Amino acid sequence: MKNLKKLLLTLVVYGIVFSATVASSVEFGRRLARKPDRGHLMKVTAYCPCSKCCGKWADGVTACGHKIQPGDMFVAAPKGFEFGTMLDIPGYGTVPVLDRGGAIKGNRLDVFFATHQEALNWGVKILTVRGI
């Protein structure tokens, strides 16, 4: 991680403190995509296509132009992850990066669900995510 801008993140979830050192979101995404055998600790939240989750962008089309269809599974990731990058997210599956989000920066991901209740049920998880 020489010459990389490091950011120390402390995440408090369920009363447990996790610490991880990550680089800028661009380099972080590139490293994850290059090293599929190595996992990265990430904060994974969820969203749906409703206006509460997407605001004025609640039009059923992702940032890469994908038109959301019933049964779709994908993830919103920081700009460092190219569209189409496959990520293995425990408890969700192996899915492509098809979207972006204003709050999705650094070591954060947002998994897509069809309904707002499903997104709420997912909650916030700290998971080891692997690039495929």
**Which amino acid is it at 80?**
G
Report pLDDT digits (tens) over 51-63.
Answer: 999 999 999 999 9
C-alpha neighbours within 13 Å on the C-beta side of residue 100: 14
**Residue 53 or residue 18, greater confidence:** 53
Question: Which range is least confidently modeled, 22-26, 109-113, 128-132?
Answer: 22-26
Residue 55, Cβ density class (10 Å: 0-12 exposed, 13-18 middle, ≥19 buried): exposed
Does residue 20 carry a pLDDT above 50?
Answer: no
Q: For the chain, which domains are there? A: 7-131 (2.40.40.10)
- The model's pTM is 0.73
Q: Provide the token pair at 78.
A: 């920081």
